[in-house]
Amino acid sequence: MSGVLLADRYISPMTEGDLDEVAAIEKLAYEFPWSRGNFGDSLRNGYFGICLRHVTGTLIGYCVLMPVVDEMHLLNLCVTPAAQGAGAGLALLREAVRMTHAEKLDGLLLEVRPSNHRAIRLYERFGFTSIGRRKNYYPARHRSREDAIVMRLSFAKEGADGAA
């Protein structure tokens, strides 16, 4: 087992070997899932993939982060439906923030469907604020597209004297 141990779960970097499991959870959780190829392309392009596993090795969730200029962009965060509501999303967010700090970036940006109330509550509880909307961002079943709420978690900048 590699990675950071969290009680009965651990965090590890996503690798090519994880992609079949990741894609299977993605299909369970989303009506419009990323493909296995989307995840593979992300890893090959140098994005950060994070896996959250139970100590038994079972994949619980994952996220994909892309550093962009001075901030990190959370492209995908998913928890297997059977494990939702048990803190896995929070554990992944904490790791995303830790990595963002480690990369010395100013904040974390994400898009979320307005219809995804559970995710919005999680992000707001974590300190994310809504900064805008992207029109027609997501595919949708009963209408051609669904907007995205753009949310950001900003980190305090330190001044020259070290004060925040």
Question: H helices then E strands: how many in the chain?
Answer: 4, 8
Question: 76 labelled as ligand-binding?
Answer: no
Report how far residue 40's alpha carbon sits from residue 15's, in angstroms, rounded to the nearest whole number: 9
| Identified catalytic residue from 26, 62, 123, 146 | 123
Taking a C-beta distance cutoff of 8 angstroms, is the pair 73, 109 a contact? yes
Q: Is 111 a catalytic residue?
A: yes
* Token digits of residue 126: 């974590």
Q: Is 123 a catalytic residue?
A: yes
| Identified catalytic residue from 21, 111, 137, 138 | 111
HSE (side-chain half, CA atoms, 13 Å) at 8: 8
Taking a C-beta distance cutoff of 8 angstroms, is the pair 74, 108 a contact? yes
Q: Pick left, alpha or beta for residue 54 (phi over 0 → left; psi -120 to 50 → alpha; otherwise beta).
A: beta
Rounded to a whole number of angstroms, the CA Rg of the chain reads 16
Report how far residue 147's alpha carbon sits from residue 139's, in angstroms, rounded to the nearest whole number: 9
Element housing 153 (H / E): strand 145-154
Residues acting as catalytic residues: 111, 123
Annotated binding site for acetyl-CoA: 116
